[in-house]
Amino acid sequence: NAGVMQNPRHLVRRRGQEARLRCSPMKGHSHVYWYRQLPEEGLKFMVYLQKENIIDESGMPKERFSAEFPKEGPSILRIQQVVRGDSAAYFCASSPPGRAQETQYFGPGTRLLVL
């Protein structure tokens, strides 16, 4: 039973480029969450999605950031026109239906470096 998968593990972008981060949840999990960890800080919630629906995006920056979880395929976190402050580790987590609160299983993360 594969865990949460994220790719790429490392991503380097120049300022102004786009970054696309992918997350495949654990089998049977229909809830996906994205978190960001800045250096020397804890994880900060960004967005909570179910298939084809955004449930809570209260942690997403208003501009340049978007997320989706289509009916087929992985969840995508897209950052347009990246800036140096976007450099961070981005973690995806998933949970089974009805157990969102009890536990979330995390992927290995994507480390984004903006030059």
Using CB under 8 A, list all residues that contact other proteins.
4, 6, 31, 33, 35, 41-45, 48, 55-56, 58-59, 91, 93, 95, 100-109, 111
Residue number with CB closer to other proteins (3 or 17): 3
Extract the tokens encoding 80. 């347009």
Closest distance of CB 36 from other proteins, Å: 11
Closest distance of CB 88 from other proteins, Å: 14
Closest distance of CB 51 from other proteins, Å: 14
Return the bridge partners of 43, or none. 37
Closest distance of CB 18 from other proteins, Å: 24
| Amino acid of residue 72 | E
Residue number with CB closer to other proteins (17 or 105): 105
Q: What number of other Cβ atoms are within 10 A of residue 67's Cβ?
A: 22
Q: Find, among 64, 30, 29, 28, the residue nearest to 46 by Cα.
A: 64
Residue number with CB closer to other proteins (35 or 114): 35
Q: In what order do the strands lie in the sheet with 75-79?
A: 5-7, 19-24, 75-79, 65-68
